[in-house]
């Protein structure tokens, strides 16, 4: 009987370990494949509650539990999970990961604080588009140039177009914008052999092929900016082959309704429609040869326009807050590019701009989700200019490269020689 009891106990422990493992795999599937961290939390919590003797499974579950709470913005709950992991399962390898997350989270933020959380590190997100519910990011696939969608909860990306590798085609997607219902994406498509940009639409489920909305020899560049609330038109910026930039509504049959023309190759840097559909915020260079931009408000029918931000600095990339009461924009007025906000009342600026977040790097807003979360990119790339002597016969360097400029380190680019070749 004793031998039988021991065997039964071993079987029970084995079944318990298997059940914890099965629950963990189901939770991972919900979290990563289905993008449902809330449902995954319930399964991770079951592992912690029902299998405390399985220390490895409990530690793994607590670490994932904290991550899911972070994705949902529940930082106090995340801290509780990580602190429990560190205090009760310090002998498990997962405890080091929990300590790292606790150090990065710091103190639980108050209701008035803004909290930044890195969603993804990839250069393609700078001109990406966020879905209305904040679950997906549309972007250009770096490996092929296809339009792709990334599930921000699971971290998985999938392509919605299939043009082949860069060696097969130089075509690519750019500047994606989600429809208000989140089911469609309007985007720019560059046709390499024509050296022209057009407007296309793809379904987010990839069930049908892309629709070509506009492709014209008169259009050199095109960038979709927003959908009309009834999803029958797309707001876009167009650069015509003769140089004029236009802000226009484009119907799904390709018909165009021009709201404003801007001569002199002064292409608007960002165009965004207010949540109520009444106003358009956009930035444009102060002069044709200037690098600084100002921001303007244009009525959605093109009948009225006023300056929103006029400043000697470079103010650009405006986006509206979900309530339509503020415009967030990027500015370098303090020396480094940061995020600023200005209040808007009845289509007019109200009060002085206020700084929202100073990252000390190039910050550019992408857009808001319906829950009020602001998604933005931070460009931390560095660019330097070097000079070195080259052997024209072998094509090899004969001297070590040296930096040309010591000022504005990391922001020097596009070198050119003076005619006497004395200085680049």
> pLDDT per residue over 173-218, tens digit each?
999 999 999 999 999 999 988 888 999 999 998 888 999 999 988 8
Same domain assignment for residues 261 and 188: yes
Mean pLDDT over 316-339 rounds to 85
Highest mean pLDDT pick, 4-8, 204-208, 278-282:
278-282
Look at residue 115 and tell me if it is in a domain: no
Same domain assignment for residues 224 and 333: no
Domain boundary pick from 233, 267, 301: 267
Same domain assignment for residues 249 and 132: yes
For residues 118 and 125, what is the distance between their CA atoms, to the nearest angstrom?
A: 12
For residues 316 and 128, what is the distance between their CA atoms, to the nearest angstrom?
A: 16
Same domain assignment for residues 229 and 289: no
Of 420 and 402, the structure prediction assigns the larger pLDDT to 402
Q: How many domains does the chain have?
A: 4
- Tokens 């469609």: give the residue: 184
Of 260 and 382, the structure prediction assigns the larger pLDDT to 260
Mean pLDDT over 20-37 rounds to 85
Look at residue 196 and tell me if it is in a domain: yes
**Two tokens, residue 272:** 């965004």
pLDDT of 408 above 90: no
Same domain assignment for residues 263 and 131: yes
Domain residues for the domain of 392 are 383-424
pLDDT at 257: 95
pLDDT at 212: 95
pLDDT at 424: 57
Mean pLDDT over 336-347 rounds to 86
Name the packing angle between helices 75-88 and 94-105 (round to 10°): 140
For 317-334, give one letter per residue: b (16+ CB within 10 A) or e.
bbbbbbeeebbbbbbbbe
| pLDDT tens figures, 109-167 | 444 445 555 666 665 455 678 888 888 889 998 889 999 998 887 888 899 999 988 98
Look at residue 61 and tell me if it is in a domain: yes
Same domain assignment for residues 230 and 146: yes
Same domain assignment for residues 250 and 283: no
Look at residue 287 and tell me if it is in a domain: yes
Q: What is the pTM assigned to this prediction?
A: 0.59
**Two tokens, residue 195:** 């050296």
Q: What is the DSSP letter of 399?
A: S
Same domain assignment for residues 343 and 394: no
pLDDT at 246: 93
Residue 68 belongs to domain with CATH number? 1.25.40.10
CB atoms within 10 A of CB 121: 8
For residues 290 and 287, what is the distance between their CA atoms, to the nearest angstrom?
A: 5
pLDDT of 18 above 80: no
Residue 134 belongs to domain with CATH number? 2.120.10.30
**Considering the chain, what is the average pLDDT of its residues?**
81
- In DSSP terms, which residues pair with 377 in a beta bridge? 364
Look at residue 3 and tell me if it is in a domain: no
Domain boundary pick from 73, 105, 137: 105
pLDDT at 14: 35
State percent of the chain over pLDDT 90.
32
Of 372 and 70, the structure prediction assigns the larger pLDDT to 70
Domain boundary pick from 221, 238, 267: 267
Mean pLDDT over 19-43 rounds to 86
Same domain assignment for residues 284 and 375: yes
Look at residue 1 and tell me if it is in a domain: no
Look at residue 393 and tell me if it is in a domain: yes
- In DSSP terms, which residues pair with 316 in a beta bridge? 330
pLDDT at 15: 34
Of 190 and 19, the structure prediction assigns the larger pLDDT to 190
pLDDT at 201: 96
Same domain assignment for residues 169 and 96: no
pLDDT at 111: 41
Of 407 and 163, the structure prediction assigns the larger pLDDT to 163
Same domain assignment for residues 394 and 369: no
pLDDT at 303: 94
Same domain assignment for residues 178 and 157: yes
Q: Would you mind telling me the total number of residues written for the chain in this entry?
A: 424
Look at residue 257 and tell me if it is in a domain: yes
**Two tokens, residue 281:** 């915020």
pLDDT of 333 above 70: yes
Q: What is the DSSP letter of 383?
A: B
pLDDT category at 410 given cuts 50, 70, 90 is low
């Amino acid at each position: 009987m004793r031998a039988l009891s021991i065997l039964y106990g071993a079987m029970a422990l084995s079944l318990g370990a298997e059940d914890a493992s099965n629950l963990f795999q189901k939770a991972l599937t919900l979290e990563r494949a289905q993008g449902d961290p809330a449902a995954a939390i319930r399964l991770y919590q079951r592992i912690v509650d029902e299998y405390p003797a399985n220390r490895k499974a409990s530690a793994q579950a607590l670490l994932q539990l904290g991550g899911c709470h972070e994705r949902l913005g529940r930082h106090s709950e995340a801290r509780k999970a990580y602190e429990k992991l560190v205090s009760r399962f310090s002998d498990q390898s997962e405890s080091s990961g929990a300590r790292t997350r606790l150090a990065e989270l710091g103190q639980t933020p108050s209701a008035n604080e803004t909290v930044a959380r890195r969603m993804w590190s990839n250069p393609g997100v700078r001109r990406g588009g966020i879905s209305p519910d904040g679950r997906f990011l549309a972007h250009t696939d770096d490996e092929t140039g296809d339009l792709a969608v990334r599930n921000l909860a699971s971290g998985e990306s999938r392509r919605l177009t299939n043009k082949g590798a860069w060696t097969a085609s130089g075509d690519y997607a750019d500047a994606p914008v989600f429809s208000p219902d989140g089911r469609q994406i309007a985007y720019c498509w560059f046709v390499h052999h024509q050296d022209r940009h057009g407007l296309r639409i793809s379904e987010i489920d990839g069930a049908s092929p892309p629709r070509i909305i506009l492709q014209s020899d008169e259009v050199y560049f095109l960038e979709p900016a927003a959908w009309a609330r009834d999803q029958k038109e797309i707001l876009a910026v167009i650069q015509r082959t003769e140089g004029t930039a236009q802000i226009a509504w484009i119907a799904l049959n390709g018909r165009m309704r021009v709201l404003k023309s801007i001569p002199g190759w002064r292409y608007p840097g960002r165009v965004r429609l207010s949540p109520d559909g009444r106003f358009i915020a956009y930035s444009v260079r102060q002069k044709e040869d200037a690098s600084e931009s100002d921001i303007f408000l244009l009525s959605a029918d093109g009948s009225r326009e006023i300056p929103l931000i006029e400043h000697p600095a470079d103010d650009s990339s405006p986006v509206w807050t979900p309530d339509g009461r503020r415009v967030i924009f990027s500015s370098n007025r303090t020396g480094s590019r940061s995020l600023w906000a200005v209040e808007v009342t009845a289509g007019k600026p109200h009060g002085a701009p206020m700084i929202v977040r100073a990252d000390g790097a190039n910050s550019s807003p992408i857009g808001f989700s319906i829950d009020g979360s602001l998604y933005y990119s931070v460009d931390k790339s560095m660019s330097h200019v070097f000079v070195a002597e080259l052997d024209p016969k072998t094509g090899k360097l004969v001297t070590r490269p040296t930096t040309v400029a010591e000022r504005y380190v990391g922001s020097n680019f596009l070198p050119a020689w003076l005619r006497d070749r004395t200085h680049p």
